[in-house]
Amino acid sequence: MDLKTFVAESLLQIVQGVVESSVPIANLGGAVSPVYYPKDTERFLGNSKGGENYPVYAIDFDVALSATAGLSTEHTERLEVASVGVNTAIQQGSAEDKTISRIRFMVPLQLPVDPESRKAAEQASVESKAASNRLSNSRRAPNWKTV
């Protein structure tokens, strides 16, 4: 497998994995690769954008990939995660050429939030906004009119 095909297949399979996991994770209350407000920490990436503002964490992958090219008349190529302890030696008379490569990448993940914690946070936010509005209104001159 040439480098161009290896990179293209690797990226395609990563994106397919993200897409395939999106719906089941959303059904559990999380999100894969959400838009987020970045922070300056190593594992905590920031908070998701939108009404929820939930924490987003970095999930790192460090994977050994096995690229196998079949030497048959069909000339098949495939890319798969290598098993632990893979023997990379080609057996005598084998009809495949196998290469082991390493790829590292990160996927942002918004984990589900406990429903009770969510309610408490929403209530605290409403109360904080109300207190802020009361304070702002109390600082206005008596003849101040809002339009």
Quote the CA–CA distance of 129 and 38 in Å, as a whole number: 24
> What is 34-80 written as a DSSP string?
--EEE-S-SSEEEEESSSS--EEEEEEEEEEEEEEEE-STT--EEEE
pLDDT of residue 29: 85
pLDDT of residue 77: 62
pLDDT of residue 64: 84
pLDDT digits (tens, 9 = 90+) for 118-139: 677 778 888 888 888 888 777 6
Quote the CA–CA distance of 34 and 51 in Å, as a whole number: 13
The pair of three-digit structure tokens given for residue 74, joined into one six-digit string: 């069909």
Q: What is the pTM of this model?
A: 0.55
Tens digit of each residue's pLDDT, the chain (147 residues): 677 887 888 889 889 999 999 999 999 888 888 887 777 666 778 777 765 667 888 888 888 877 776 655 455 566 676 654 433 343 444 556 677 888 888 888 887 777 777 677 778 888 888 888 888 777 665 666 665
pLDDT of residue 88: 38
pLDDT of residue 21: 93
pLDDT of residue 83: 54
**Type of residue at 89:** A
Residue spans per domain, the chain: 3-110, 113-141
Region for 27 from its dihedrals, namely left if φ exceeds 0, alpha if ψ lies in -120 to 50, beta otherwise: alpha
DSSP state of 29: T
pLDDT of residue 79: 65
